[in-house]
Structure 1
Amino acid sequence: MEPQTINPMANILLVEDDEDLAELVLMHLKFQGHKVTRVARCGDALKLYQQQVFDLLVLDRGLPDGDGLDICHQLRQQKNWTPVLMLTARDSEMDKVDGLEAGVDAYITKPFSVLEFQARVRNILRRVSQVSVSSVDVEFNNTAMNFGLLKITPELHQVSLDDKDVVLTATEFTLLKFLASRPGRVYSKDELLGHVWNTEHSGYHHTVCSTINRLRTKLKLPSDEHHFIQTVWGVGYKFQPYQ
């Protein structure tokens, strides 16, 4: 049986110190057709990032030389937007919030099913490689989008507000770019799940809500009451530039 992938030969870094789990994850990533490098320490992972470009980071949290979130923090501070799939035994709501705030794109708690893991990897790689928008006839290109104080530059994966950089995760950036490409157009949670997360599973509605809330917080000036991402009650969300 041939492995099927969305992004053939994606270059993936696995940071996991549990030998048995690392072997299982390695096997399934390679089955999907990916190139995988595995290390067991934070320091080794950060050194590799100075030498290579990776398409995905699969990251354990409890590592021998520190918290895996420290890797994510450092990468985001360096403007590195490699998507991060966090594997962890910590399943409290606060732990998940900490991960999202650090820039984690997806979170799987141990123990997890192989099918769920494979699906998460496929969805992340699909999401960052391209956003499917054919059904709403939206064109994505690398042209900078200017909305007064807000500037979105897809080619550089940059967002600035009032001339200050706004640090977004890969998912947050994709969602913002998608909404901003059709200002005023209202999208339901199901539509956003389909176009941004590439899933039709309504059980992930909370993921849409939490990502929207983080975007609102990051795109808000203390002295300005305007919200670029607005809720249309009973319908969904829209991007609203200054009037």
Structure 2
Amino acid sequence: MAKKILIVEDEKNIVDILSFNLTREGYTALEAYDGEAGLQLALEQDPDLILLDLMLPRKNGFDVCRAIRDAGRTTPIIMLTAREEETDKVLGLELGADDYITKPFSMRELLARVKANIRRSGMAAVGTSAQPSVGGRLELGRISIDAELLMAYKDNAPLDLTQREYELLKFLASNPGKVFSREALMENVWNYEGYVGDVRAVDVAVRRLREKVEDDPASPQFVVTRRGLGYLFNA
């Protein structure tokens, strides 16, 4: 069955271009031209991915993203924005968007991001159906990870992580002491092959992860920064 992509965008010419290219790639495109309609379709149709513009009539993209996450939906969301302000992009990520892409964007890049996010989401769905692990946990001092249950624990208490936060922690913890650049994390955790571009999504994800994992996020012990190089997991 074809994967469903919901496009929430008020500029019809952009919707037409996106819908045409997505359909040509084998996806089913759903369209909404304002935030309220987009939110309704997101909750009713349960799409496999949402392309969400920030500046929308009736309800802006930030509010739509927040409402989708508040409803417990983990649908991948890629925000479309014409704005260059870092605060807007960071706010979208803080509200639960998986990524953003700035207009004007290349269709090739957008399709690559769509494919990567759907593939990552599908891999997680398979994992959540697994039976409880028997000795399959990764033990790293106070932190442990059960790769079959897709759960992480601190001092044996489960951590309330988003899918992205879990994947980031699991990747770093599986390579303790090894430093990964932001670009390398975009490739390995975000699944963007040969990524070259804005990597602020990594910094936001690390900050959110630290708020849930660290005793003191301002002085991290587990997810550590190597200035000028990237991040590592300190076992």
Query: What is the root-mean-square deviation in Å for CA atoms of aligned residues?
Result: 3.4
Map of 1:15 onto structure 2: 8
Change (3 A) 1:18 1:203: closer
Change (3 A) 1:107 1:10: same
Unaligned runs of 5+ in 1: 1-7, 132-139
Aligned counterpart for 1:186 among listed residues 161, 171, 178: 178
The separation in 2 between residues aligned to 1:212 and 1:240, in whole angstroms, is: 14
The separation in 2 between residues aligned to 1:68 and 1:164, in whole angstroms, is: 31
Unaligned runs of 5+ in 2: 125-129
TM-score by length of structure 2 reads 0.76
Aligned pairs, how many? 224
Aligned counterpart for 1:89 among listed residues 82, 88, 92: 82
Map of 1:237 onto structure 2: 231
SS of residue in 1 equivalent to 2:189: helix
Change (3 A) 1:41 1:230: same
The separation in 1 between residues aligned to 2:132 and 2:62, in whole angstroms, is: 30
Change (3 A) 1:197 1:141: farther
Give the CA deviation at 1:21.
1.0
TM-score by length of structure 1 reads 0.74
The separation in 2 between residues aligned to 1:224 and 1:62, in whole angstroms, is: 33
The separation in 2 between residues aligned to 1:206 and 1:122, in whole angstroms, is: 20
Residue identity matched to 1:31: R
**Is the 8 Å Cα contact of residues 50 and 76 (structure 2) preserved in structure 1?**
yes
Give the CA deviation at 1:224.
9.8
Deviates more, 1:226-235 or 1:158-167: 158-167
**Is the 8 Å Cα contact of residues 216 and 227 (structure 1) preserved in structure 2?**
no
Give the CA deviation at 1:46.
2.6
SS of residue in 1 equivalent to 2:75: coil
Map of 2:205 onto structure 1: 211
Give the CA deviation at 1:99.
0.9
